Amino acid sequence: MHYFDRLSDSAFRATSHTGGAWNTAEQHIAPSLGLLAHVVDLDREQRGQGSLRIGRLSYDILGTLPIGEVTTSVRVLRAGRTIELVEATLSHDDRVAVVARAWLMGAYDTEGLAGTSFPTIPGPEGMSAWDPTTVWPGGFIAGVEVRRAQTEPGRAAFWVRTPIALVGGEKVGAVARTAGLLDIANGMTTRADPRDVAFPNLDLTMHLFGEPRGDWVGFDTAVSFGSDGLGLTHSVVSDAFGPIGTSSQILTVRPS
């Protein structure tokens, strides 16, 4: 099982496991965000910059994607030995649907300085299983395992993992695997019933200060709606050893 089949150096075909939550005939954007992180990883290795780490990934979602063939491209916007800015795009039928920008940063030994004030959440073994298909349809949601502790609508801690590989037959790095799950945060503790209110996100920005470890991705998530149609889903992201970064999504909130 996998989300994408590789067709060529730059082309991929989405499988039914990418099926969306807002529209099951379209892709859930989460696997595509992981795919672009994977493309950035491969380009970095091919250029001999494998020692650089991804510190930030920002995605702008310009449109929807059918469950079909997509193409990718990568270019270096700011080259350097210790800091680079790389841009990757995902397109369908020559229409760009997602633009990603990644800051690649040099790694240094800061073990003695490591620490964070972000609170930790209980591990997945300390949370109850929750079935997200009770709220959302689609192949992507059906393929994930979720453990959740909800405080109130729009506020929860949860863990997510999936047995589905990002690209068939390819080794995928920890950051790309994690990036391929981050977009799920906007639907795991809803502030409003999605049958009554649409609240899709237009972007996603991930900042990392630690390399993800393990197959579970943890979220400490708060969803906020403003009074004029704007919203925000913000998460502290964790692996099994504690917080490793943050993820934010701006929302367009549209009552039906």
For 153-192, the pLDDT digits (tens) are 999 999 999 999 999 999 999 999 999 999 999 999 999 9
Whose CA is closest to 191, among 157, 152, 227?
152
Comparing CA positions, the residue from 37, 88, 22, 29 lying closest to residue 208 is 37
In whole angstroms, what is the distance from residue 212 CA to residue 202 CA? 25
Q: Shortest CA distance to 235 belongs to which of 227, 244, 226?
A: 244
At 256, the pLDDT band (50, 70, 90 cuts) reads: confident
Pairing of strands 197-198, 254-255: antiparallel
Helices (H) and strands (E) in the chain, counts: 3, 16
Nearest to 161 by CA among 123, 120, 192, 196: 123
Question: 228: pLDDT confidence band, cut at 50, 70 and 90?
Answer: very high
- Answer CATH for 2-106+125-255 from 2.60.120.20, 3.40.710.10, 1.20.1560.10, 2.40.160.210: 2.40.160.210
* Domains of the chain by residue range: 2-106+125-255
> Is 73 a residue whose pLDDT tops 90?
yes
What is the structure's pLDDT at 142? 98
Q: How confident is the model at residue 127 (pLDDT cuts 50, 70, 90)?
A: very high
Q: Are strands 155-161 and 145-152 parallel, antiparallel or unpaired?
A: antiparallel
Model confidence at 23: pLDDT above 90? yes
In angstroms, rounded to a whole number, what is the distance separating the alpha carbons of residues 94 and 233? 30
How far apart are alpha carbons 242 and 240 in whole angstroms?
A: 6
Measured over all CA atoms, what is the biggest interatomic distance in the chain, rounded to whole angstroms?
A: 52
Distance CA 156, CA 121 (A): 10
The dihedral through the CA atoms of 126, 134, 59, 250 has a sign that is negative
Q: How far is CA 157 from the centre of its chain?
A: 16
The proportion of the chain whose per-residue pLDDT surpasses 70, expressed as a percent, equals 100
